Amino acid sequence: MAKKIKNIAVFSSGGDAPGMNAAIRAVVRTGTYYGLNVYGIIGGYEGMIKGKFKKMEKRGVGNILHRGGTVLKTARSMEFMTKEGRAKAYKSLKKKKIDACIAIGGNGTFTGAKVFTKEHNIPFIGIPGTIDNDLYGTDYTIGFDTALNTAMEAIDRIRDTADSHNRVFFVEVMGRHSGFLALDTGIGTGAGGIVIPEKETQIEDLIQLLKKNATRKKLFSVIIVSEGNKMGGAPEIAAIIKKRFTNFDTRVTVIGHLQRGGSPTCMDRVLASRLGFEAVNALLNNKLNVMVGITNNEVNYTSFKKAISKSKPIDLRLLEMAEILAM
């Protein structure tokens, strides 16, 4: 299989993440170094269906390392979820004589790759690109560190106004059903409370925490809420707390898509470059239909099935640490 690979395609799919361009750059330059023809697919799986291919050259990916978003664009394709849509995508790939694909994305991207490779004989390699950091098989995903720093900078500013006005701020961060962003952001900003999906936080626990702050005459606080929390987002939780503490001056801030944009941090650039390089080498070494990841600073390969179905554990002891350090 490795000897047959001559033409490869790279694309980004699902939500964008800072560092995707660094991964694209690494794939293109590594591929051309090894004598491969590298094509970019514009618009993810939707672009694959419509045959939107662009020949990529090493000079053409210059000056994109520092840029956020993805130069190949991205989209969520409803048509690719159908067997007929995937058949169209396969036809487009064969027309371009593509031997293998490198997909940069998250859970949905790899789910599509898993189904597609089962139906059609074109191997895929996955590069984990999502700010949620929720993929099993890698310590960090591309974009997580940048999103974390963006949230931290925003919350540092919110703390200033919370302190000045003695307010309680409920700040919602992204992360879908994963609390990695909320947990690390809360620790890094000294938040008074952290609410994540992985822990069944009762509203009474949060009320008791705020009561403790009040007895310490701490009149302001910042509570970090993960968007995937079962009790609701920051607006819902803030409304409940306001009913119990009518004297609290509460405010809600949803950081939202600010976390997805911006220039990637050095960590994300290095991680993306390394994963892009290793993805091409994985193809050439016959490691097919897997996600390439970094665990304990070592490259490893995880099947798409495991990457998307196994839960990535979060260290709940860090919640205890955060509460103690915030006192």
99 among known catalytic residues: no
| Cα–Cα distance, 179 to 182 (Å, whole number) | 5
Q: Which of 16, 99, 132, 268 is catalytic?
A: 132
Residue-level pLDDT at 118: 95
Q: Which tokens is 255 given?
A: 């950081």
Identical fold at 2-143+264-309 and 145-260? yes
pLDDT bucket at 2, cuts 50 / 70 / 90? very low
Residue 1 has pLDDT above 50, yes or no: no
- For range 108-129, the mean pLDDT: 96
Per-residue pLDDT reduced to its tens digit, 56-98: 999 999 999 999 999 999 988 999 999 999 999 999 999 999 9
In this prediction, residue 107 carries a pLDDT of 94
- The domain spans of the chain are 2-143+264-309, 145-260
Is the per-residue pLDDT at 221 higher than 90? no
Q: State the pLDDT at residue 327.
A: 75
Please report which confidence band the pLDDT of residue 208 belongs to, taking 50, 70 and 90 as the band edges: confident
CB neighbours of 13 closer than 8 A, spacing ≥ 6?
44, 45, 74, 75, 76, 77, 103, 104, 105, 108, 109, 112
Superfamily of domain 145-260: Phosphofructokinase domain (3.40.50.460)
Q: Which residues contact 318 (CB under 8 A, 6 or more apart)?
A: 183, 187
**pLDDT tens digit sequence for 242-270:** 888 777 888 999 999 999 999 999 999 99
- The reply to whether CATH 3.40.50.450 applies to domain 2-143+264-309 is yes
Q: In which residue are the tokens 């395609």 written?
A: 9
Local confidence band at 214 (pLDDT 50, 70, 90 cut-offs): low
Query: In the predicted model, what is the mean pLDDT of the chain?
Result: 93
